[in-house]
Every structure is written in structure tokens, then in C-alpha cells.
């Protein structure tokens, strides 16, 4: 799933989404609805993002704001929802509000609302500009990171390398994520997908979760490769992008 799967929402669409989420008890949507009243907003784009990436990024933000809960609406619930759902991709859009940034996730299949959060004084959202990228690796740099991981015995990196080689992207986007959140995400998925592991439908999932759990830094950088055969690969790098840490691959 890529930018071709993005959808545009009018101001009326955004208000309707907020109304539906308000009815489901999302205080952030109620806040947005009130602040948007009487306001003209241009269309916004809801772009496809990996659900696990949202869980990782906003889990990091939740942990950073643990002592300032008055600055957030629904952040715990939002991270929990993103961590527990099963779909690989969702649609995400954000709207600037006075003093807050409102972030909302829709179902990629039905475009129905899933959840939302609002963070006070959050500054730039991690998913602005090409769905949240905080930087880019060149095609050659991404291939080299995969090759280094392969040398360390990460089988999933071979899938990622093959996907990069076939697609030949000019650059690869990079996101920030919390390693502990990624550890929980993939540890749970490993437990749920024992049958997948048995039939070769995932690679390095347990090892990836264990590696993320062992990392002491608050953040890592991640990139994704999705190949034409249904493999979804995630690579983790140090924050300076210089060193590969781990990788994982799951067959859809």
C-alpha cells in the first residue's frame, strides 16, 4: 500500500469523522469538533501508514508525556487501539487546532474512523511530509544496511534486500519509533503467529522483539520494505542511521 491509496477528505468529511468518534467516547474528537465549529478548513489527505509504526511512534510520545497527561487527549487509548488491531495498514490524517494537533486514524478498507488523539504543543507531527518520514536513506545505503544485517544472520534482511533490488527506489523513508513499543508489538505477534512461524510465513520475529527489548535508547529509526510477493519487512537502525540493529519480515 502506497500514496496511491491516499484519500482526500473535505472539511465536512472531517467533521463527520469527529462526530462518529465523539459518539464512541473519544474526547479528542469532541475537542476537535468544538474547535472546528465555524472554521473553514481545506481538504486534508489521509495517507496509508503501517499500524505498527503508529503504535511505536505514539507509544514513544505517550511515554515522553507520562507526567503531563493534561496535555493530551486519548493518547493511552489511541496507542492501545493501534497496538491491538490486526490490520497491517490504516489511513492517518492530522489537523492543526489552536494549541493542539489532532490526529485521526481510519480503516484502510472502509475509511471508517478507528480512533484519534490530540496532543498540546506537539509541534510537527511524526507523520507529516510523506507519511511521517524524519529523513531518508539512499537506495544504496538501504541496501548496505540490509547486507550488514544479513551478515549478522538476519534472514529477514534478505527479503528486504530483494524487495529493494526489484523496486529500485531512489530513496527510502525513515521513521522514529520506541523500541519497547516495537518489542511488545512483535512479541505479541510472535505468540499469535506460531503457525506462521512453523510454515515459514515470518522471519526473525522473536529475535527482533528480543533485540528491541534489550535496547536502552528511547528511540530507534525504522524503515519498511514491501515486496511484490506479500512480504512486509521492517529494519531498525541507530538514530544516526549509521548502524543496522535488527530486521523482521512477515508474509501477508
Per-residue pLDDT, 64: 61
Spatial contact of 79 and 94, defined as CB atoms under 8 Å apart: no
Per-residue pLDDT, 3: 57
Task: For the chain, 252 residues long, give each residue's pLDDT as a single digit of tens.
Answer: 555 578 899 999 999 999 999 999 999 999 999 988 877 777 888 888 888 878 877 776 677 666 665 678 999 999 999 999 988 889 988 888 877 888 999 998 877 899 999 887 644 443 333 445 678 899 889 999 999 999 999 999 988 988 887 677 888 889 888 899 899 888 888 887 665 555 567 889 999 999 999 999 989 999 988 876 678 899 999 999 999 999 999 876
Give kind and range of the element (H or E) at residue 236. Answer: strand 231-237
Q: Helices (H) and strands (E) in the chain — how many of each?
A: 9, 12
What pTM value is reported for the model?
0.56
- What is the rounded (10 degree) CA torsion for 230, 238, 146, 202? -40
Spatial contact of 208 and 186, defined as CB atoms under 8 Å apart: yes
Per-residue pLDDT, 68: 61
Residues 6+ apart with CB under 8 A from 135: 173, 174, 221, 241
Q: How far is CA 204 from CA 41, 170, 181, 201, in A?
A: 45, 27, 17, 10
Angle between helices 51-64 and 179-192 (to 10 degrees): 140
Closest CA to 235 of 53, 79, 105: 53
Closest CA to 133 of 82, 169, 96: 169
Per-residue pLDDT, 95: 86
CA dihedral for 6, 190, 61, 160, sign (positive or negative): negative
Per-residue pLDDT, 67: 61
Q: CB count, 10 Å around CB of 209?
A: 23
Amino acid at each position: 500500500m502506497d500514496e496511491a491509496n491516499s484519500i482526500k477528505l473535505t472539511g465536512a468529511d472531517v467533521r463527520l469523522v469527529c462526530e462518529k468518534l465523539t459518539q464512541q467516547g473519544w474526547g479528542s474528537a469532541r475537542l476537535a469538533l468544538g474547535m472546528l465549529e465555524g472554521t473553514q478548513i481545506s481538504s486534508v489527505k489521509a495517507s496509508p501508514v503501517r499500524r505498527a509504526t503508529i503504535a511505536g511512534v505514539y507509544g514513544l510520545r505517550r511515554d515522553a508525556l507520562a507526567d503531563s497527561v493534561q496535555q493530551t487527549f486519548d493518547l493511552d487509548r489511541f496507542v492501545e487501539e493501534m497496538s491491538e488491531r490486526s490490520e497491517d495498514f490504516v489511513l492517518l490524517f492530522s489537523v492543526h487546532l489552536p494549541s493542539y494537533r489532532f490526529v485521526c486514524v481510519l480503516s484502510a478498507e472502509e475509511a471508517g474512523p478507528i480512533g484519534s488523539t490530540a496532543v498540546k504543543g506537539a509541534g510537527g507531527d511524526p507523520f507529516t511530509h510523506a507519511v511521517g518520514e524524519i529523513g531518508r536513506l539512499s537506495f544504496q545505503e538501504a541496501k548496505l544496511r540490509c547486507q550488514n544485517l544479513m551478515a549478522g544472520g538476519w534472514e529477514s534482511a534478505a527479503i528486504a534486500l530483494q524487495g529493494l533490488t526489484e523496486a529500485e527506489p531512489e530513496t527510502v523513508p525513515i521513521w522514529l519509533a520506541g523500541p519497547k513499543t516495537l518489542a511488545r508489538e512483535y512479541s505479541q505477534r510472535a505468540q499469535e503467529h506460531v503457525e506462521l512461524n512453523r510454515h515459514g510465513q515470518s522471519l526473525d520475529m522473536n529475535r527482533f522483539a528480543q533485540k528491541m527489548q534489550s535496547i536502552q535508547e528511547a528511540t530507534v529509526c525504522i524503515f519498511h520494505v514491501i515486496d511484490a510477493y506479500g512480504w512486509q519487512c521492517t529494519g531498525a537502525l541507530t538514530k544516526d542511521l549509521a548502524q543496522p540493529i535488527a530486521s523482521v519480515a512477515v508474509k501477508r
